[in-house]
Amino acid sequence: MVSDLSQRLGFQYEIAVPGIQVAALLHTELLRRRLTIPEGTDRVILPGWCQGDISDLHDQFRVPFERGPKNLYDLPEHFGLGKRKNVSLQDFNIEIIAEINHATERSLKSVLEEAAALAADGADVIDVGCVPGTSDDGRVSQIVTALREQNLRVSIDSFDRAEVEQAVASGVELILSCNQTNIDWVSELGTEVVVIPDTPLDMESLDRSVEQLMSANVSFRIDPIIEPIGMGFTASLQRYIDTRTKYPDLPVMMGTGNITELTEVDSAGVNMILAAICEELQIHSVLTTQVINWCGSSVAELNRSRRLVHHAIAEGVVPKHVDSSLLMLRDAQVRRESEESLNDMATALTDANYRIFAGAKAVHLMNRDGHWSGSDSFEVFARALQQAKSKLSEEHAFYLGYEMARAELARHLNKNYVQDEPMQWGLLGEWKASSAVHEHLPSSGSGKE
C-alpha cells in the first residue's frame, strides 16, 4: 500500500519497526529510545494508536511527527486520496410531517414523549392521527393544546368535523385531508388543508376541489396519493408528475407511508428514493409514519435524505462519498485481511495477546499459542480454550466473547470490524467496543493481556 502511495504521490519512504508487535502498546517514550530517523527525513507518520505527547519526539528528532490513521487501510485518505467531500448538508427543501398513529387512543404522556422524539429526529410538524369514536370530551383539543405548549407545530389527520374544529380552535396549522366529501365546511375554517382526490384514480375530483379552494382563497397543498407497490405504485408516481406539470406553482405533498409501511424492506433506501422524487418534482412536504418495525427510523432517514438529495440536485452531483448516515447494515467500504496475511501474522506472533479478525470466510482468533478460525465463534473459542497455554480470567473470557460476537456479526453483514473499535451503524449510532465493556468489569484493563 505504501509503495503504491509513493508512486502516485511521488515521495520516498522507509518503514521503521521499533521492536513492538501491538500498535496499541506503542508509546512516544519507547520511540524516543528506539527510533532512528534516516538522514533527509522531512515527515514521520506514527500509527494512530501511538500514545504519548508527539511534541516530545519533534523536540528530540527535529522532524515533524503526526499521528496517522489507526487502520492502515485508511492511509490513502490520510494523504488526501478518496476523502469524503466536506459539505454542511444544512440546507433542504422538504418539510417532514410525522404522524403519531392512533394518538386519540393513547395517553397524553405517551403522545408527548413520541412527539418530542419525532421532533428530535427532524420532524417539522407533528400530525395527530385520529381514530373515529375516540375523541369525545375534548380529547383532540387536549392533545393539540399540549403539543402547542411544547412549541411544536401541529396538524390533524381526520375527516370528522368535530375533531377538526377542536383541533383548529386549539392551534393546528394544517388539516389532513380535504376532498369533495368535506370541502364545504373545511374551506370555512381558515386553516391550510391537504387536498386529495375522492379516490386515487379520480383526478377530476381533485381538479374540482383545487378550483373550489382557489376560488374560496383557502391555502392548500395537493396530494395525488401514492399507491402501494402491487396496487398501482408506478401509475401513482405518474400522477405526481402530471400534477406538477398541471400546477407548476402550487405546493404538493406526498404521504410516504403507503410505501415504507407496506413494503417489507429496510426503509432507509426507500425513503432516500422517495425524497429524491420529491426534490426533483419540487414536492416540498412529506407525511410519514414509523409504526411497523422495518421503518421505525423513517423520520431520521428522511431528515438525512432531504439534505442529501438537496445537495445532489443543487450541485449537480450524485449523492456519493458525501455522507454515510444512511448506511446502517453495510459500510461504504469493507476492508478485509486476506487469509494469507492472517496466517502470516499468526505465525509471527510471540506474545499472549489475543487478536480477533473478521475475515472474508471466517472469524479468526490468534496469539502465540495458536491460530483458530471458523464460521462459528463458539467452536473457535472452544478450540482456543483447549489449546492455549494462557489461562483466561472470567473478565478476559467475557471480553473475548463480546469482541468475537461483534466480529461474527460484522462478517455476516459484510461490515468492517476492528478489535476494540466501535462498529458504525449510520444514523443509528455506534456499537460500543470493548473499551466500553471494560468500564463495567470487576477488574478493568486491556482485554488482550
Q: What is the pLDDT of residues 297-319, one digit of tens each?
A: 999 999 999 999 999 999 998 99
pLDDT exceeds 70 at position 440:
no
pLDDT exceeds 50 at position 176:
yes
Grid cell 429526529 in the structure block, residue: 121
To the nearest whole percent, how much of the chain has pLDDT over 90? 65
The better pLDDT of the pair 22, 267 is held by 267
The better pLDDT of the pair 107, 339 is held by 107
Phi, psi of 365 (to 5 degrees): -130, 130
pLDDT exceeds 90 at position 1:
no
DSSP state, residue 178: E
Q: What confidence score (pLDDT) does residue 338 get?
A: 86
pLDDT exceeds 70 at position 414:
yes
pLDDT exceeds 70 at position 25:
no
In this prediction, residue 446 has a pLDDT band, given cuts at 50, 70 and 90, of very low
Q: What confidence score (pLDDT) does residue 123 get?
A: 98
- Span 144-153, pLDDT tens digits: 999 999 999 9
Q: What confidence score (pLDDT) does residue 94 get?
A: 98
Domain map of the chain by residue range? 2-78, 95-315, 339-438
Q: How many CB atoms lie within 10 A of CB 341?
A: 12
Q: Compute the average pLDDT of residues 340-358.
A: 90
Phi, psi of 337 (to 5 degrees): -70, 140
Q: What confidence score (pLDDT) does residue 272 get?
A: 98
Phi, psi of 312 (to 5 degrees): -60, -45
Q: Are strands 430-431 and 423-424 parallel, antiparallel or unpaired?
A: antiparallel
Grid cell 397524553 in the structure block, residue: 108
In this prediction, residue 443 has a pLDDT band, given cuts at 50, 70 and 90, of very low
CB of 212 closer than 8 Å to CB of 180: no
- Span 274-294, pLDDT tens digits: 999 999 999 999 999 999 999
Q: Are strands 95-100 and 125-129 parallel, antiparallel or unpaired?
A: parallel
CA distances from 149 to 128, 153, 165, 166 (A): 15, 10, 19, 16
Q: How many CB atoms lie within 10 A of CB 133?
A: 9
Q: What confidence score (pLDDT) does residue 444 get?
A: 37
To the nearest whole percent, how much of the chain has pLDDT over 70? 93
Q: What confidence score (pLDDT) does residue 96 get?
A: 98
Q: Compute the average pLDDT of residues 130-137.
A: 74
In this prediction, residue 155 has a pLDDT band, given cuts at 50, 70 and 90, of very high
How far apart CA 298 and CA 303 sit, in angstroms, is: 8
Q: Compute the average pLDDT of residues 393-399.
A: 89
Q: What confidence score (pLDDT) does residue 4 get?
A: 81
373 prior amide bond cis, ω within 30: no
The better pLDDT of the pair 439, 118 is held by 118
pTM of the model: 0.82
Question: Average pLDDT, whole number, for the chain?
Answer: 90
| End-to-end CA separation in angstroms for the chain | 30
The number of CA neighbours under 13 Å toward the Cβ of 329 is 8
Q: For residue 27, give the C-alpha cell.
A: 508509546
The amino acid at 8: R
Phi, psi of 366 (to 5 degrees): -150, 150
The better pLDDT of the pair 439, 74 is held by 74
pLDDT exceeds 80 at position 449:
no
- Weakest mean pLDDT among 7-11, 249-253, 373-377, 397-401: 7-11
In this prediction, residue 388 has a pLDDT band, given cuts at 50, 70 and 90, of confident
In this prediction, residue 448 has a pLDDT band, given cuts at 50, 70 and 90, of very low
CATH of 95-315, one of 3.40.640.10, 3.20.20.20, 3.40.50.720, 3.40.190.10: 3.20.20.20
